[in-house]
Structure 1
Amino acid sequence: MSAIFNFQSLLTVILLLICTCAYIRFLTPSLLDKNKPGLLGIFWKCARIAVKS
């Protein structure tokens, strides 16, 4: 079964995405910038969520 249809798996994938983005931002802050459009901008938002909490 896909992670999209299983709620617990979907939450796990989202949590791993947020933690991974925060780690990447910690290592290379210039890679994730709030002014970048598209996927890198979404990754920056995920990293920002991890820093706020």
Structure 2
Amino acid sequence: MQNLLTVILLLICTCAYIRSLAPSLLDKNKTGLLGIFWKCARIGERKSPYVAVCCIVMAFSILFAQ
């Protein structure tokens, strides 16, 4: 379960970063299978403080809990 959460957090952060560099790359695919990346970018932009806290918590749990 922890690995899945790590992958989801990394996907959200990566998509938000890519959208900040090249918005047209993700904006043209708002529907379909590639729309998942656009949705992840939107989550990363709108909920960035919560995503950042989750990333920090996940980092500490990976470093110190295992």
TM-score (norm 1): 0.77
RMSD: 1.6
Which residue does 1:21 correspond to in 2? 15
Provide structure 1 residue ranges, at least 5 long, that are not aligned to the other structure.
Answer: 1-6
* C-alpha distance after superposition, 1:1-53 (max 9, x if no partner): xxxxxx00000000000000001101100001165432321100000001111
Provide structure 2 residue ranges, at least 5 long, that are not aligned to the other structure.
Answer: 48-66
Which residue does 2:37 correspond to in 1? 43
**Larger radius of gyration between Structure 1 and Structure 2:** 2
Percentage identity across paired residues of the two chains: 81
TM-score (norm 2): 0.63
Contact 1:34 1:45 in 2 (8 A): no
Aligned residue pairs: how many? 47
Which residue does 1:4 correspond to in 2? none
Distance 1:46 1:17 in 2: 7
Contact 2:29 2:38 in 1 (8 A): no
